Amino acid sequence: MTRFRTITITLVLLMISATAINSMAQGKAQQEKDSPFLIIGKMPHLTKILMQQWDNADLHLTDEQKSKLLVVRKETIGGAQKLGREISPMENQVAQASLSGKTPDEQQAMIQSIAKLKAEATMIHLRCIYNTSAILDAKQLELLTTM
């Protein structure tokens, strides 16, 4: 009877783990799908990682660094979200138009507009990385990029 319980508990835990891993993968896929950036998954989101490690003793963030990093994060998130709100409806229009028989040439202007906004969002991301790197010292940056 004990062996049966052990096997049952093990199977339940495996199923829970598999469900959690699947949910995380789906969440990441959805996040990438909704991303306003041109380059997805290849550049670090430094301020996101920093927020998760904000009080990590190994990072030794000073109050001055934290204050500057919060400004960078606020500017980055605000800019990216604003562009994301513009991009999403435009992408939906293209998707709908492609199924309604519109030609690629008829959609070119919209595609160019989306590309311009995604390039702008990517520049916001690049500025975030650059500005964050300028606030951190070399040791902090190295530690952060290995997290």
- The pLDDT tens digits for 118-137 are 999 999 999 999 999 999 99
Q: DSSP secondary-structure letter at 117? A: H
Supply the pTM of this predicted model: 0.73
pLDDT-derived band at 28 (thresholds 50, 70, 90) equals very low
User: Which tens digits make up the pLDDT trace of 57-84?
Assistant: 999 999 999 999 999 999 999 999 999 9
Spatial contact of 52 and 144, defined as CB atoms under 8 Å apart: no
As a whole number of angstroms, the distance between CA 15 and CA 130 comes to: 42
CATH number for the domain running over 37-145: 1.10.287
3-class SS of residue 100: coil
Given a cut of 70, whether residue 107 has pLDDT beyond it is yes
The type of residue at 124 is I
How far is Cα of residue 63 from the mean position of the Cα atoms in its chain? 26
